[in-house]
A and B are shown apart, each in its own frame.
Chain A
Amino acid sequence: DTAVSQTPKYLVTQMGNDKSIKCEQNLGHDTMYWYKQDSKKFLKIMFSYNNKELIINETVPNRFSPKSPDKAHLNLHINSLELGDSAVYFCASSQGPATNQPQHFGDGTRLSIL
């Protein structure tokens, strides 16, 4: 019954590899997000999609490419992984971009680059 689910939970890989993280929400929400939480626990927005369309793209290297096949899914693909990409990546969803309804978060994907 998980509302926002991410896979995998842990991802350990080598520098230079390409990897993907998947996110699915069963809340019927229209808007989905990717956040990055660094080693100091600071949570920062990366991307936001509304009904499969990109509406936020913060200053993120273009090695990061989000894809939304439908409004219940938002995946994150990362090319040419670097040491600095090590972090916990959180997916979230909310009813809509302009509402003040809360965002609901998944439990994160911990990415470690060797």
Chain B
Amino acid sequence: EDQVTQSPEALRLQEGESSSLNCSYTVSGLRGLFWYRQDPGKGPEFLFTLYSAGEEKEKERLKATLTKKESFLHITAPKPEDSATYLCARKAGTALIFGKGTTLSVSS
């Protein structure tokens, strides 16, 4: 059962072209929404944790926001090095329930 849905599956951007990735979840009483970045051949690398609606966190060109039903990862003026798969996950008990990810490609 996929309780975390990410869209789009793939996104191609030109360098400098800002966009957003979406992560929607169906559970009530969210206990934490996590964003990770995964490069080919590597493990997921932690980016952000969000806990409550209205919360925002930023890191360089990335900004994560959270509402009651979804989270967005905004990428401002992306560079080719931002190319990766971005995964979101919600806390479920001890484990993380992951979405299937959005693969971002940024070309110069």
**A interface residues (Cβ-Cβ under 8 A, vs B):** 4, 31, 33, 40-45, 48, 50, 55-56, 58, 90, 92, 97-98, 100, 102-108
The 10 closest A-B pairs by CB, nearest first: A105-B43, A45-B95, A100-B32, A97-B94, A102-B46, A43-B98, A107-B43, A105-B44, A48-B94, A107-B42
**Total inter-chain residue pairs, C-beta < 8 Å:** 54
Binding site for A on B (CB under 8 A): 31-32, 34, 36, 41-46, 49, 51, 85, 87, 89, 91, 93-98, 100-101
A40 to B87 Cα, complex, angstroms: 13
Contacts of A43 in B (CB 8 A): 44, 87, 89, 98
- Complex contact A41–B101 (CB within 8 A): yes
Per the bound structure, the CA–CA distance linking A57 and B94 in Å amounts to: 11
A56–B49 alpha-carbon span in the complex (Å): 22
Contacts of A98 in B (CB 8 A): 94
Residue numbers in B under 8 Å from A45 (CB-CB)? 95-97
Residues of B within 8 A of A44 (CB): 98
Chain B residues with CB under 8 A of A92: 43
Q: Please, how many angstroms separate the alpha-carbon atoms of A5 and B64 in the complex?
A: 28
Q: Which residues of B contact A31 (CB under 8 A)?
A: 94
A55 near B94 with CB under 8 A, answer yes
- Distance between Cα atoms of A45 and B97 in the complex (Å): 8
If A44-B98, A45-B96 touch, whether A100 touches B91 (CB-CB below 8 Å) is yes
The one of A41, A48, A58, A108 that contacts B85, using a Cβ cutoff of 8 Å: A41
- Distance A71 CA – B98 CA, assembled complex (angstroms): 25
CA of A41 to CA of B99 in the docked complex: distance in angstroms? 10
Interchain CB contact under 8 A, B43 and A4 = yes
B80 to chain A, nearest CB (A): 21
- Whether the Cβ atoms of A56 and B93 lie closer than 8 Å is yes
